Structure 1
Amino acid sequence: METSCRKKKEDDFHVLHKVPSGDGPYVKAKHTQLVEKDPEGAIIWFWKAINGGDRVESALKDMAVVMKQLDRTEEAIEAIKSFRCLCSKHSQPSLDNLLIDLYKKCGRFDEEIGLLKQKLRVIYRGEAFNGKPTKTARSHGKKFQVSVKQETAKILGNLGWAYMQKSNFMAAEVVYKKAQMIDPDANKACNLGLCLMKQARYKEAQLSLFDILSGRFPGADDSKACARAQQLLTELKTCRQPPSGLPENLLGLDLDDEFVTDLERLINVWAPYKSKRLPIFEEIDQFRDQLAF
């Protein structure tokens, strides 16, 4: 009876603190992280788990997350790169997602862009989600289904934001417009409006932001999106007229022909009635022709 009660208390403890049972280094790492609230000590135990072959995939992911929280981002990146070879093929996409977050946090935008493009190529080849149309995701303890279409729009949104951090606003505009064709939402519409403002295309930016406030996009009733759209419209009132000539950020365009072709193919699949070539692609071609001279 006493043994049964003790076991029940131990089980309740593991459930309450979300700590796995056992006495290996990975379990000790989680106990140190979640119960003792000692992230530095947890990292030491995570390293021991990885080196000892104890739940390597979980230890590597959890250690990277803890390192990110401690602003040891560069160290987390190197750890994933060095030890992901010990992890299964099934875990590689989630490791890529971690790397993308880490690259974003430490400002390594070129590497973030490269990895986002790589994830899109996996989708183009039909290899995402192990060939299935949806996958089960988890957020704040709740499970939900994500479609390949939604995943593509999300990746494109992240790619657009990364281009914006490099002040490559034309490339960001291309990507955001494609993302909106696939799965429109108010947040991406705000970012698109900001891209247009940065290119001094104020009238187009104004129309894009008005669309948000008029409730045209899913999520437009989100108070944060509406507040941001209103803030950008206020900023627009102080903007000057667009300068003459070609915008300088065209020189930083980072969209190779193969990538543009792949984007067009996705639009043909998921937005067949919106698949006409965007005017911005004509602008890109015209600018490239001028550079050729």
Structure 2
Amino acid sequence: MEVVNSRRKEEEQFHIIHKVPSGDGPYVKAKHAQILNLQLVERDQEGAIVWFWKAINAGDRVESALKDMAVVMKQLDRTEEAIEAIKSFRCLCPKSAQESLDNVLIDLFKKCGKVDEQIALLKQKLRMIYRGEAFNGRPTKTARSHGKKFQVSVRQETSRILGNLGWAYMQKSNFMAAEVVYKKAQMIDPDANKACNLGLCLMKQARYEEACPILQHVVNGEIPGSDDIRARNRAQELLMEMEKCRHMSELLPALPGLDLDDDFVNGLEKLMNVWAPSRSKRLPIFEQIESFRDQLAC
């Protein structure tokens, strides 16, 4: 009897520590396999994937099974397979789960270098925000990081998505588009990391006089997040690199044009005007977009 009680207590502790639901369905077995295999040196999680597939086919916590299976597949460099799984079976998940599945897809696209797909999905998420469809219509959502829960506002989420979009444009060396996006992100919810990326975008366009004060603000601790030593060190490194670039006489390669469609720009402008009602009807940043287009048309 004591052995049975001891085993029962161990099972309860396992469920509590690893946040595994109780029961004996396919999803629970998959989670058990995933957690136990994480403790192995070889980390062979193929067995967990098999159980996650069984959970999906049985309709057992499909949303959680899809997300968890994608995480395991990503660890096993089966990212393409994870993408196809989410695309094929997300229709079995409720509407409230679609936004979080999009976030998983964006992470998978980033992992396997599908930059164009990442950009398209990020733009789609921004369109949902200015249509009022983000967070299932609520002003905030609960997020989790490192085991801790916290509230995220639509404003913060918009800035985060814009930051990811700017980074994606940078991967395509479209620094003009990245600059525009990072500037809008900083207008909404500034932080040191995006400031460094904005400074880098300007440096890539040889606009050192504009980049210098932005990076200096990070070094001086004048931007939220600049208390992080890594952000300050990065800004300092960029400033040093900029000094070297200033003395280079080599011509920069031609920069690609902006890749921001009219509907996307107009919708984002409306969103910005909601958060900045005291500004003119047309924000200066969008005037810059048009000036860029005029220059490219010449």
| CA deviation profile, 1:74-104 (whole Å, cap 9, x unmatched) | 1110110011111111110000000000111
Residues 173 and 192 of structure 1 are in contact (CA less than 8 Å); yes or no, is this contact kept in structure 2? yes
User: Which residue is 1:165 aligned to?
Assistant: 171
Choose from 201, 209, 212 the match for 1:203.
209
Residues 267 and 275 of structure 1 are in contact (CA less than 8 Å); yes or no, is this contact kept in structure 2? no
User: Which residue is 1:8 aligned to?
Assistant: 9
Give yes or no for the alignment of 1:178 onto 2:179.
no
SS of 1:35 mapped into structure 2? helix
Give yes or no for the alignment of 1:25 onto 2:30.
no
User: Which residue is 2:294 aligned to?
Assistant: 289
SS of 2:141 mapped into structure 1? strand
- TM-score of the superposed pair, with normalisation by structure 2: 0.90
1:260 partner letter:
V
Give yes or no for the alignment of 1:140 onto 2:146.
yes
Looking at structure 2, the residues matched to 49 and 26 of structure 1 have their Cα atoms a distance apart, in angstroms, of 5
Residues 182 and 194 of structure 2 are in contact (CA less than 8 Å); yes or no, is this contact kept in structure 1? yes
Looking at structure 2, the residues matched to 39 and 4 of structure 1 have their Cα atoms a distance apart, in angstroms, of 30
Unaligned stretches of 5+ residues in structure 1: none
| CA deviation profile, 1:214-237 (whole Å, cap 9, x unmatched) | 222111111111000000011011
How far is 1:261 from its partner? Answer: 1.6
Looking at structure 2, the residues matched to 178 and 204 of structure 1 have their Cα atoms a distance apart, in angstroms, of 16
SS of 2:60 mapped into structure 1? coil
User: Which residue is 2:41 aligned to?
Assistant: none
Residues 200 and 242 of structure 1 are in contact (CA less than 8 Å); yes or no, is this contact kept in structure 2? no
User: Which residue is 1:103 aligned to?
Assistant: 109
Residues 124 and 266 of structure 1 are in contact (CA less than 8 Å); yes or no, is this contact kept in structure 2? yes
1:20 partner letter:
P
SS of 2:144 mapped into structure 1? strand
Aligned residues: percent identity?
75
Looking at structure 2, the residues matched to 46 and 29 of structure 1 have their Cα atoms a distance apart, in angstroms, of 5
Looking at structure 1, the residues matched to 281 and 219 of structure 2 have their Cα atoms a distance apart, in angstroms, of 26
CA shift in 2, pair 1:284/1:13, >3 Å: closer
User: Which residue is 2:195 aligned to?
Assistant: 189
Give yes or no for the alignment of 1:258 onto 2:263.
yes
SS of 1:238 mapped into structure 2? helix
Residues 170 and 178 of structure 2 are in contact (CA less than 8 Å); yes or no, is this contact kept in structure 1? yes
Looking at structure 2, the residues matched to 42 and 68 of structure 1 have their Cα atoms a distance apart, in angstroms, of 13
**Structure 1 segment 36-55 matched on structure 2, within 5 A:** 36-37=37-38, 38-55=44-61
How far is 1:289 from its partner? Answer: 3.4
CA shift in 2, pair 1:36/1:247, >3 Å: closer
How far is 1:11 from its partner? Answer: 1.2
Looking at structure 2, the residues matched to 247 and 280 of structure 1 have their Cα atoms a distance apart, in angstroms, of 24
Unaligned stretches of 5+ residues in structure 2: 39-43
Looking at structure 1, the residues matched to 123 and 232 of structure 2 have their Cα atoms a distance apart, in angstroms, of 30
Looking at structure 1, the residues matched to 215 and 296 of structure 2 have their Cα atoms a distance apart, in angstroms, of 33
- TM-score of the superposed pair, with normalisation by structure 1: 0.92
How far is 1:255 from its partner? Answer: 0.7
How far is 1:246 from its partner? Answer: 10
How far is 1:170 from its partner? Answer: 0.3
Looking at structure 1, the residues matched to 286 and 270 of structure 2 have their Cα atoms a distance apart, in angstroms, of 14
Residues 17 and 35 of structure 1 are in contact (CA less than 8 Å); yes or no, is this contact kept in structure 2? no
Residues 25 and 45 of structure 1 are in contact (CA less than 8 Å); yes or no, is this contact kept in structure 2? yes
CA shift in 2, pair 1:243/1:111, >3 Å: farther
| CA deviation profile, 1:27-53 (whole Å, cap 9, x unmatched) | 111111101333111111111111122
Farther-moved stretch of structure 1 (143-152 vs 33-42): 33-42
Residues 19 and 34 of structure 1 are in contact (CA less than 8 Å); yes or no, is this contact kept in structure 2? no
How many aligned positions are there?
A: 292
Looking at structure 1, the residues matched to 154 and 283 of structure 2 have their Cα atoms a distance apart, in angstroms, of 23
